[in-house]
Each structure stands twice: as structure tokens, then as C-alpha cells.
Amino acid sequence: MELGAYYSMVMSNLMLVLTVSMVSATYLLMRKMRGKKRLPPGPGLALPLVGHLHLLREKPLHVTLAGLAARHGPVLSLRLGRRDAVVVTSLRLAKECFSTELDVNFANRPRFPSAREVSFGYTGLSAASYGPHWRSMRRIATVHLLSARRVDLMSDATIAGETGAMVRRLARAAAAASGGVTRVELKRNLFELSHGVLMEAIAGAKGTRDGSDADMSKEAHEFKKVVDEIVPLLGMANLHDHLPGPLRWLDFGGVRRRLTELVNRRNALMHGLIDAERQRRPQEDHATDELLPESKSMIGVMLSLQESDPQQYTDTFIAALVTVSTPPPTGSSCTFTTK
């Protein structure tokens, strides 16, 4: 046997032994740690590494959880890979969990590895832990970005324009079908409507449309594509988030690599929008900014705050606050007819 082939065989066997040892040690450690926790009852069959994830393959998820609750009680525990989860199906107990006394205990979201990538290191409003940073972002969003006046302005020209774009999409779909009748995904079109409104509010993206009849700006279209691809990689949707740390580095299925690529695209787009807004801002007179802050985009408002406190309102802070991660709807449809 040649030396190169022998060396390759030895390394392959060594990697196999190390992998098996790592998996076994991780499984034993997880069992030991789980035994110290006071958890409600749950399904008895928990597979190594994946736990009860194999029980959640059926869709829709709420039907599966209702079936488990019927067998194990209104409060049950599940092991989702390396994580323990408690499922509360009783309305009374769920209200008690979010009562004034216990609300803070349930305020934080689980820190999935995929969420760290998407939420700028858990600094986004939807992923940040409850505390001073989260309260500061919430105050800024409430006072400066989502004030009643701004929402009223969004309810007029912006929503009317995006609704017209949605109607054009539906009309073209119907015109292309035989008989002028076709089945379309209504939830998908409503998502695109809300997405267009939000992009207009975030960056004033309407001005970058290719032609007056374009249904969506280039930035909104690119951002929607990124969101469509990111959402299936988040949370319960992938095994990567539930594996122990050493096994996540093996990147089964390439989830980590793909998510990194998509987040880089998203970040490049957001920073491009911030730079474009910065270049459009008038340099000589900010009196109009102070009188009519609602007329500016969300990024424009944040750049005004950045001028007063650049250390806090960094470009990353702005991107984390205005980034909208809306999951694309699927499944529903309706019949649309033209006359």
C-alpha cells in the first residue's frame, strides 16, 4: 500500500473515531444537564442529538402540538436538539405566564445561532434581550419611526400607490390566463403590498422604480428576495440551530454558509440605502427637517438623530432598527376575475 493511501485511510478512521466520541460525549452531557432541570412531563422517546424534533415533522405545527398536549397534558416539555422547550396550550396558563408579575421572565426570545446572524448580533428590536438597549430602541421606534402622524401619512399616498401596484399584478395574471380567470396566492400579494409600503417608509424607495408602471423598486425587490430565502433557514426550520456547538461547525446542509451569504447581501443593501439617503440630505439648512420630520423616510429620521449622537446612532444601529424581517406567506389562494 502506498504511503499516501495509508495516510488517507488513517486520517479517515481517526476522523470517524473523533466524530463518534464527540457525539457520544455531547449526548451524555446533555442527558446529565437535563436531569437537573425541573420540567413538566413530555414524550418519552427523545432521540440522540435531535431530541423530539422528529415528532414535529407533520404540518401544521399547532395541530401536532395539540395532539401532544392531548396525550401529555396542557403543559409539556420537548427537547429540541440541545434545547429544552416548554409548550403551554392552556389559555388560562398562557395568560398567567404573561401577567404583570411574570411577563419579564418570558420577554426574551431564544438565542438561535441563525438569529444572531440575521439580527446584527441580537441587537435588533425583535431579538434583543429585555433591558436598556431594547427599551431605547423601542422608544426610538415609537416616538420617531412609528408615530401616529407618520402612520397617517403612510395610510394615504403610499398605501394607495402600493395597492395600485398589487391590482396591476393581479390584472396581468388574470389577463394572461384563458377566460380572464386565474387562481392567485392572495397572501403572497398582500405580503408584497405590505412589503412595498414598509420599504417606501424605510427608504423612500419609490423613486428608484424602473418606470412609472413598475410594481416594486429595485431595492424592495432585492430585499424581498433575500427575505424569501432567509426565512426558511431560521429557528425551527433548520437542524443547525438545535445541534450542540461542536456539531454546528460541521455545517450540516450548508445552512450556516448560505445564511452568511444572504445576510451579507441584506447588509450591503441596507448600508447602500443609508448611504444613498445620506447623500440626498440637504447640507445647508435643516429647518425643514425639524418642522416636518414625518415627511422623511425612517432612515432620514435616524440620520438626523445620528448628527446629534453619532456614537449611539451608528449605521449598524440604524440598519438593525429599520430592517424588516417579514416571513413570506404561503398556502392561501383566491380566484380573481377581470371583466
Condensed to tens digits (0 to 9), the pLDDT of residues 215-255 reads 667 777 788 888 888 887 776 567 777 777 767 777 777 78
Residues 193 and 321 in one domain: yes
Place of cell 473515531: 17
Query: Residue 21: what pLDDT?
Result: 59
pTM higher than 0.95, yes or no? no
Residues 249 and 270 in one domain: yes
Residues 48 and 27 in one domain: no
The CA distance from 312 to 319, in Å, is 13
Please count the CA atoms within 13 angstroms of the CA of 329 that sit on its side-chain side.
15
The CA distance from 245 to 212, in Å, is 50
Say how many domains are in the chain. Answer: 3
CA 51 and chain centroid, separation: 24
Residues 68 and 24 in one domain: no
Query: Residue 163: what pLDDT?
Result: 82
Residues 189 and 284 in one domain: yes
> Has residue 63 got a pLDDT over 70?
yes
- Which of 84, 106, 128 is at the close of a domain? 106
Query: Residue 31: what pLDDT?
Result: 56
Highest mean pLDDT out of 1-5, 23-27, 69-73: 69-73
Q: In degrees rounded to 5, what are phi and psi of residue 128?
A: -65, 145
Query: Residue 207: what pLDDT?
Result: 46
| Residue-number span of the structural domain to which 71 is assigned | 39-106
> Has residue 152 got a pLDDT over 80?
no
Q: Is residue 226, in this structure, part of any structural domain at all?
A: yes
Q: Is residue 182, in this structure, part of any structural domain at all?
A: yes
Q: In degrees rounded to 5, what are phi and psi of residue 30?
A: -65, -40
Query: Residue 326: what pLDDT?
Result: 46
3 state DSSP class of 51 = strand
Q: Is residue 112, in this structure, part of any structural domain at all?
A: no
Residues 93 and 216 in one domain: no
Q: Which residues pair with 184 in a beta bridge?
A: 334
Least confident of 111-115, 260-264, 265-269: 111-115
Q: Is residue 126, in this structure, part of any structural domain at all?
A: no
Written as nine digits, the cell of 303 is: 440620520
Band of residue 287 on the pLDDT scale cut at 50, 70, 90 = very low
Question: Cα-Cα-Cα-Cα dihedral of 237, 240, 244, 249, to 10°?
Answer: -170
Residues 33 and 43 in one domain: no
Query: Residue 127: what pLDDT?
Result: 84
Q: Answer yes or no: are the C-beta atoms of 237 and 230 closer than 8 Å.
A: no
Q: Is residue 128, in this structure, part of any structural domain at all?
A: no
Residues 58 and 175 in one domain: no
Q: Is residue 296, in this structure, part of any structural domain at all?
A: yes
Residues 196 and 275 in one domain: yes
Query: Residue 332: what pLDDT?
Result: 40
Q: Answer yes or no: are the C-beta atoms of 328 and 191 closer than 8 Å.
A: yes
Q: Is residue 131, in this structure, part of any structural domain at all?
A: no
Residues 191 and 298 in one domain: yes
Q: Answer yes or no: are the C-beta atoms of 113 and 241 closer than 8 Å.
A: yes
Residues 195 and 78 in one domain: no
Mean per-residue pLDDT, 90-112: 83
Please write the tens of the pLDDT for every residue from 21-45: 555 555 555 555 555 567 888 888 7
Band of residue 283 on the pLDDT scale cut at 50, 70, 90 = low
> Has residue 135 got a pLDDT over 60?
yes
Query: Residue 236: what pLDDT?
Result: 57
Q: Is residue 19, in this structure, part of any structural domain at all?
A: yes
